[in-house]
Structure 1
């Protein structure tokens, strides 16, 4: 990723230099990351915790006294909450802890939406920060829907809230957070809901999927297959240099591969949803392993790029259904040697190894991962 496209450099650091609360949360995030790399430096852990505690206290106080019409300050506080989400991931917190901050962000975004705020196509710096918050918040909501989640726990209204705020800027072709596949990510909550629905049906005694389930399954499957990556923007008028144009086309090609990885994982999730708590039939097993192999072949081309961070949700979903020992070792290698050496990747690795070692028939797919994590008291959240 070009340094100018790095959100940390382009959005976070400039604000932190001018805002004490933002600087403390940046130091907390940095400390959480460093304490994983330097576990034998207790003073680092203590300093990180002090920054984190300061941010929590100050943020609560500011929210109570912030004037709701001070849009710029509201956006700054949302930025702090978004970075607290990053902190929780890096600290190895559970999704339950992360969800407190996500709910706070959603409430703030809803307030901005309700007062008629939206980001214009030509955004100023504050509006660019809000765009980044919306993208990052949405991504964390999507990518943490790995195991079947009760629908009361999923904020179903966050997509229209974010879409309203983003306005025309939602059409950004290659965003740093989603690449070009935002609409594909928006299908993840629906796939998760289907798996939870099927598990509920089975608990109620429905051996075969109900007609309602099958209708929803068919509709969502069609949406997954119908989605297409937007074509590269034509630069026939020569407004960009050759080098810039080549860099753009390279980024577009990588984003296209990211999208196909997400689609592979969604197809697998849909088959897992059909199974519910049951082991796969031979036909479904064959179809799932076909998608596993397709994912492996595509992901190899982007695993050493900045795009690799975007496919972590897909990697985990695919890994829960991977039977081949070579592919399993390849997945572990990619987690161990990721350019993003972070604590949550180690927790993901631990959960997958336990899943693969479990000989029970239910230790398969996202639901199997949930069972194994509950059995071994493991939890994580990702971004």
Structure 2
């Protein structure tokens, strides 16, 4: 027999669950304050606030089929937000003074992580609690560890410039302190690097959490850009390029870097279109150099679908060269800008030659381009050193010569295409290898310029036919302080190539075959002849 209801229970009116609010609050089962055009919850969590079409007016929504249509992939009649309404609720981010640590309002939804292990805390020797106390993204211990690891380790492994002028510290961190999106990108980079050396689940969780926050905030900022409320191409380009570093460090083998580079290419045009006074800013030059470096070294083989994961590339030499006298020039290129910028053209020649092979021909255009590129590579000379450190200058010279021979090998291999056993090709490649192996043996892998050497190591390694030569290169790579998953996976690809019994497993062409065999998706770039035109759409 049921118990009699209390008087208070009988008198209390029945309250039904509120069935209004924005779509995201309802999906997250959070109370929505129904502030329009952007509710407080979505504004706080950097979500794209959307409303069903029946909520656009002042009436209440009676349409409860929106969830079913959303899950089935049908439209839900989203309300378009008027840009004029956004102005009152969204304010552009302001860069603080150089000495300020004031940041944008806290991004809710920061990863809630438990305290990091004592062993990891003790491994970091440069705690700066006074510098980090006001940064919302660094309020939990594990995120602070990622930041410290980035500043103490990762930043110094990414830049070819040693010492206090490292742009990953001097240029990136000031922007990160004023923009939570960039800060989360920095933490994702540090986390990707730290995950290569530790199996701590909290570190891995923090890294993925910050990576997810970057993507969420990036999408949110793009909605503001689309509405014309805010426009900051420098911050957007820096974020996408830092995500490229995440994919490179973590050794992503599914071509994820392609998406970041494709997004970066849109913002490169906007930065170049800035006024000449703004373009003199060191950060702009650094970002353009980083972009040009990435879209060059993603090319390691032409033995792939030329239309798959293609990034449009223009060397924009006339712009980058304008920063040559800057103390941060060469952070990605070292001395080798003139060589690295030839890589996409060489890869384009490789695609053409593979297509011509199917027709059993070799065009005069291909021969002329091959000879022209070969002359440019052989005539190239490193610029005079501007560094007082003799050891560093010597390593720069050695790296430049290694790059010169690697690019020449890449040219020969792409011209001969699938004819990897052609005696003429083997003679040309062996001549270059004989001249560069002594440089590889004497090169200091602990020099900061070693951060740019993975691409030539892959190209050279793919053409080594003797076990002794392979051991020299492998030992040199393993002796470097770059404890990154991407480096380990590069060695794994070379091991697969060397162990494969197929006669075609040689050179960049063989790398393409091996990557296809192991379901690794490369990214490539396509050169556009001519200079950037800021008025031309991407």
Which TM-score band applies after superposition, normalised by the shorter structure?
0.7 to 0.9
- Alpha carbons 1:119, 1:131 under 8 Å: kept: no
Whether the aligned pair in 1 keeps the contact of 2:192 and 2:246 (CA below 8 Å) is yes
More helix per residue? 1
1:3 Cα deviation from its structure 2 partner: 2.5
Q: Which residue of 2 aligns with 1:189?
A: 344
2:112 corresponds to which residue? none
Structure label with greater radius of gyration: 2
The one of 363, 368, 378 aligned to 2:510: 368
- 1:341 has 2:483 as partner: yes
**1:86-235 maps to which residues of 2 (within 5 A)?**
86-94=245-253, 96-116=255-275, 123=280, 127-148=281-302, 152=307, 154-160=310-316, 163=317, 165-166=319-320, 168-170=322-324, 172=326, 175-206=330-361, 209-232=362-385
1:35 aligned partner: 195
State the 1:378 CA deviation. 3.2
Match of 1:4 in 2: 164
Question: Following the alignment from structure 1 to structure 2, what is the Cα–Cα distance between the partners of residues 293 and 379?
Answer: 31
Once the two structures are TM-superposed, the CA of residue 219 in structure 1 deviates from its matched residue by 1.0
Farther off after superposition, 358-367 or 330-339 = 330-339
Report matched runs for 1:321-340 at 5 Å.
321-340=463-482
CA contact (8 A) 2:261 2:311 kept: no
Cross-structure match for 1:261: 402
**Aligned pair partner of 2:234 in 59, 72, 75:** 75
Query: Does the residue aligned with 2:178 lie in a helix, a strand or coil?
Result: coil
Mapped contact 1:3–1:9 kept (Cα < 8 A): no
What is the deviation of 1:119? 5.5
Q: Which runs of 5+ in 1 are unaligned?
A: 234-244
Shift in Å at residue 314 of structure 1?
Answer: 0.9
CA distance in 1, matches of 2:229, 2:508: 43
When residues 157 and 47 of structure 1 are mapped into structure 2, their CA distance, relative to the original with a 3 A threshold, is closer
Pick 1 or 2: higher relative contact order, CA cutoff 8 A, min separation 6: 1
**Maintained 8 Å contact 2:296/2:344:** yes
Instruction: Tell me, yes or no, if the aligned pair for 1:119 and 1:166 is still in contact at 8 Å.
Output: no
Kept in 2, the 8 Å contact 1:118–1:165? The answer is: no
Q: TM-score when scaled to structure 2?
A: 0.62
CA deviation map 1:137-170 (0-9, x unaligned)? 111111110011655555454323xx45446214
Q: Distance in 2 between matches of 1:346 and 1:307?
A: 19
Change (3 A) 1:118 1:200: farther
Quote the offset at 1:323 in angstroms: 0.8
Moved more, 51-60 or 170-179: 170-179
User: Cα deviation per residue 1:237-288 (whole Å; 9 max; x = unaligned)?
Assistant: xxxxxxxx632x5444322222211111122112212321113333431331
Give the conservation status (yes or no) of the 8 Å contact 1:26–1:83.
Answer: yes
Work out which of the residue numbers 292, 296, 301 in structure 1 matches 2:433: 292
Q: Deviations over 1:98-138 (max 9, x none)?
A: 01111111101112323545765xx4xxx222221111111
Of 83-92 and 346-355, more deviation after overlay is shown by: 83-92
Aligned-partner Cα distance in 2 for 1:375–1:3: 42
The alpha carbon displacement at 1:368 in A equals 0.6
Counterparts in 2 of 1:222 and 1:205: CA distance versus 1, 3 Å: same
The alignment's C-alpha RMSD in Å is 2.5
Local SS of the residue matching 2:453: helix
Corresponding residue for 1:359?
Answer: 501
Matched residue count: 359
Structure 2: runs of 5+ lacking an equivalent? 1-160, 525-538
